[in-house]
Structure 1
Amino acid sequence: MARKTFLDWPVIRQLRGADPTGRGTAVTSPRTRSTMPRTAEADGVVDSVCPYCAVGCSQRVFHKDGRVINIEGNPDSPVSRGRLCPKGAASEQLANSYLRQTKVRYRRPYGTEWEDLDLDTAMDMIADRFLEARRKHWEDEDEQGNPLRRTMGIASLGGATIDNEENYLIKKFFTAAGAIQMENQARI
């Protein structure tokens, strides 16, 4: 590493060079000039929507080698105009957290250990239990003969990381299935 001299001081560079106001090259170090944004090395960028609330802020998701490297607000969005709240700005952690589960985990009734299941098996188990609960708790009419056509055996609790469209479809699905107990975590 080269030893710095008196002439390397920024104020001396400022007075000797073509930058007397000290707003350009005179005050930038070689290290500063060599830095570049993380997004410059990205393989690509994809437009997305923040998953946290119903506002629908637009995001630009930068990826490299199949991994999310940065998420920032999309300046072309009429909703958020390039801004993200603290949760939206930190949503990169959703994809890259070491705590993120990437396998279906199942613990049998009265069991003490978790086991991995393949997705098809887990989906079949959920569908079977859903249909059984609906069938077992179906109420066609009340004591006076008034039509009910509902089930009290299933309920839905939506999450704040589900966007508006997904919540709309979930509401429609559970209503069609006869469920009347539907809530969303964002309201609680």
Structure 2
Amino acid sequence: MARKTLLDWPVLRQLTGRDPLGRGAAVTSERTRSLEPRTVQADTVVKSICPYCAVGCGQNVYVRDGRVTQIEGDPDSPVSRGRLCPKGSASEQLVNSPGRATRMLYRRPGGTAWEPLDLEQATDMIADRVVESRRRHWQDTDEHGKPLRRTMGVAALGGATLDNEENYLIKKLFTALGAIQIENQARI
């Protein structure tokens, strides 16, 4: 590393150079001039939607070597016009967090430890339990013979991280199952 001299002093460069207000080259260090944005090195840019709330802000996800390197607001999005809230701006940490769960875990009834489970097996277990609970708690008619055609054994509570389309599909699914206790966090 070269030794600094008085000529490297930003105030001197500001007074003797073409940047008298000290807002440009006079105050820029060699290290700063060598920096480049993380977005420049990306192999691909993928359009996405922020996962945090139901607003649906657009995101540009910058990927390099199969890893997300940066997430920024999508200026083409009619919803957010390139802006993200602090949570949306930090969603890169959600993707790259070392504590992120990347596989299914299951704790057996009465068990004390979590064990990994295959995705297909976990999906089958959930489907079997929903069907069994629906069958066991099905109410075809009330005590007066009026048709009910519902189950009290299945309920749904949606989160605000889902967008309108996802909530619509979840509502349709649980209604088709006969559930009547369908609620959403955003409505509570």
- Normalised to the residue count of structure 1, the TM-score between the two structures is 0.93
Compute the displacement of 1:70 (Å). 1.1
Superposed, which structure 2 residues align to 1:3-152 within 5 Å?
3-152=3-152
Judging changes above 3 Å, is the alpha-carbon distance between structure 1 residues 16 and 158 closer, same or farther for their aligned structure 2 residues?
same
Report if the CA contact (8 A) 1:45-1:62 is conserved.
yes
Report if the CA contact (8 A) 1:141-1:147 is conserved.
yes
Q: Aligned pair count?
A: 188
Compute the displacement of 1:168 (Å). 1.1
Q: Deviations over 1:84-103 (max 9, x none)?
A: 11221121222111221111
SS of corresponding position for 2:186: coil
Q: Deviations over 1:46-78 (max 9, x none)?
A: 111111222111111111121111111112222
Report if the CA contact (8 A) 1:106-1:117 is conserved.
yes
Judging changes above 3 Å, is the alpha-carbon distance between structure 1 residues 99 and 187 closer, same or farther for their aligned structure 2 residues?
farther
Compute the displacement of 1:7 (Å). 1.4
* % identical equivalent positions: 73
Q: What is the CA–CA distance in structure 1 between the aligned matches of 2:161 and 2:177, rounded to whole Å?
A: 23
Report if the CA contact (8 A) 2:54-2:161 is conserved.
no
- Normalised to the residue count of structure 2, the TM-score between the two structures is 0.93
Q: What is the CA–CA distance in structure 1 between the aligned matches of 2:164 and 2:68, rounded to whole Å?
A: 23
SS of corresponding position for 1:156: strand
Compute the displacement of 1:144 (Å). 1.0
Q: Deviations over 1:124-166 (max 9, x none)?
A: 1111111111111111111111111100001112122222221
Instruction: Report the AA paired with residue 103 of structure 1.
Output: R
Give unpaired runs (5+ residues) of structure 1: none
